[in-house]
Chains A and B, each alone.
Chain A
């Protein structure tokens, strides 16, 4: 099995996984979605809220704000020594206190102040609520680790998707250089230059086969490589994308180990 990083950005990573079974690729994807923990606000204590928004809606919005997570600093509540009651090892308190003056005021996720400077909203510009003049909002929020299995707000990823590596081939003897396939391709993969049809950026191909339909039979063929996968992992900002993949691989290995131990004990 081989992994090649194709493109890495702050919030997303594209990589190529070669020599793996589709079952493995999907297990990795699902582990990233449901098993990698991340921090999220789970309980909100509203001390004062005179805004037009109901407490419940506000609490829900707070829960959806992704928080920067340091996985090594916190325990999952069910694995913590406090048995899930909530201690400084498994919980982080954030507070928000805002009062509008004579003007309307927007409250942003960046206005949350955290007990732990490491655990902060991943993006500061999320509007939470708008306050009319002289309205106040005072609340305390408790963040904890959780997994996507429990609630989607704990997912460290927005999307994880994979596709098979596309293989685009051109049979030059059957091509009549009409150029229809070049026009019809939504990803601009086919190019006609000096009466020769060639391909570029074939990894971008979405396997729509529009070119096959407009072409002479057999001139362009689209196929996919069954054992190679192009992954796209998009982080919410809670964890860096490469850490999500690493953690998912560790968790998957651990879980496969557990399953094997169980099978061997039968």
Chain B
């Protein structure tokens, strides 16, 4: 749904690096170089960003903006 806060395996915080990672990869930067610069050296943390698909935007298409009134 949204990027996991921490790496499943080692517990390093990875969520705060995702937006920068996505932005730079979209600009055509090599993911390996971006991950190195973000300080994610272990493959457990690297796969967290590499393999993540953000689907919260698709969920938001079905969002209700008001609380459903109880009748």
Q: Which residues of A contact B65 (CB under 8 A)?
A: 50, 132-135
User: How far, in Å, is A230 (CB) from chain B's closest CB?
Assistant: 16
Q: Is B5 an interface residue (CB 8 A)?
A: yes
- Interface positions of B (Cβ within 8 A of A): 1-3, 5-7, 10-13, 15-16, 18-19, 42, 56-57, 59-60, 62-67
How many residues on chain A are close to B (CB under 8 Å)? 32
Within 8 Å by CB of B2, from A124, A127, A132, A134, lies A127
Q: A50-B66, A52-B59, A135-B65 are in contact. Are A236 and B13 (CB under 8 A)?
A: yes
Q: How far does the alpha carbon of A203 sit from the alpha carbon of B6 in the complex, in Å?
A: 29
B10 touching A159 by the CB < 8 A rule? yes
Q: List 10 A-B contacts (CB under 8 A).
A: A50-B66, A50-B67, A104-B60, A125-B19, A127-B19, A130-B2, A130-B57, A135-B65, A159-B11, A236-B13
Q: Is A234 an interface residue (CB 8 A)?
A: yes
Q: Mark A55-93, 1 if CB is under 8 A from B, else 0.
A: 001000100111000000000000000000000000000
Q: A158-B10, A159-B10, A159-B11 are in contact. Are A126 and B63 (CB under 8 A)?
A: no
Q: A57-B1, A236-B11 are in contact. Are A52 and B16 (CB under 8 A)?
A: no
Q: Which residues of A contact B42 (CB under 8 A)?
A: 159
User: How far, in Å, is B47 (CB) from chain A's closest CB?
Assistant: 15
